[in-house]
Amino acid sequence: MVGLAGRTTRVHVLVLEAFDRPRPKGAVCRHLDGNPINNHLSNLAWGTHKENTEDRKRHGRAGGRYKPPPPPPWAGVPIAEQLRAAGMPAERIND
Task: Give the CB-side neighbour count of residue 94, counting CA atoms within 13 A.
Answer: 0
Architecture of domain 2-89: Alpha-Beta Complex (3.90)
Instruction: Calculate the average pLDDT of the chain.
Output: 84
Q: Which residues are CB-neighbours of 27 under 8 A, at least 6 positions away?
A: 46, 47, 48
Q: Identify the pLDDT of residue 42.
A: 95
Given a cut of 50, the residues of the chain with pLDDT beneath it are none
What is the value of pTM for the model shown? 0.61
Cα separation of 47 and 94, whole Å?
Answer: 50
Helix, coil or strand: residue 39 = coil
